[in-house]
Amino acid sequence: MKTKDMILTAMLTAVLAVLSIINIPMPSGVPITLQTFAVALCGYVLGSKWGALSTFLYVLIGTIGVPVFAGMQAGVGILLGPTGGFLFGFIPMAFLAGLGIKSKNKIMPVIWGMLGLVVCHILGTVQFSIVTGTGFGASFLLVSVPYLVKDVLSVIGAVLVAVAVRKGLRSANLLSHEQAA
């Protein structure tokens, strides 16, 4: 791991943490946040490996008690609670978004990001369903459907921002060979 990889990974982890704190509480207990934007941004800027690592680090520091989860929450209880499946889902989401950014086809990053979003929503819905004892269908309608438009727009927005960020990082020679590919 090169120093610039570590620094960029840490910086994107910090961006994810900051964008997670800002939230709008919802009756379902799943708040509206900018987490999906930030997770997709991690993958798109850093690539699959470093993006997933950045997101994993975010989940790890929140789990050990640093208040970086939505609403400045932290701890194992959040990870194992009703919304924890979304946190678990962020890691494959960042990985899949990172796979998409390497494509020459301009639509592929969005497609890979959407696939990551689907994985995240499935994991989130499944854990919510299990923890609350609510059926999967009802859970899906409660904690996934209301957020889909915002999350789809977040992924698209993250692609657009990441393209500009990667261009700047590339011109400053700050992307590693693996990230720049």
User: Sign of the CA dihedral 66, 68, 72, 74?
Assistant: negative
* Predicted confidence (pLDDT) per residue in 134-149, tens digit: 999 999 999 999 999 9
Domains and CATH numbers, the chain: 3-180 (1.10.1760.20)
* Predicted confidence (pLDDT) per residue in 155-167, tens digit: 999 999 999 999 9
Give the predicted TM-score (pTM) of the model: 0.94
State the Cα–Cα distance between residues 176 and 170, nearest whole angstrom: 9
- Banded model confidence at residue 29, pLDDT cuts 50, 70, 90: confident
Average pLDDT over residues 78-97: 97
Q: Which residues contact 109 (CB under 8 A, 6 or more apart)?
A: 44, 97, 100, 101, 103, 159, 162
* Predicted confidence (pLDDT) per residue in 59-84, tens digit: 999 999 999 999 999 999 999 999 99
Predicted local confidence at residue 175, as pLDDT: 82
Helix (H) or strand (E) run with residue 109 in it:
helix 108-132
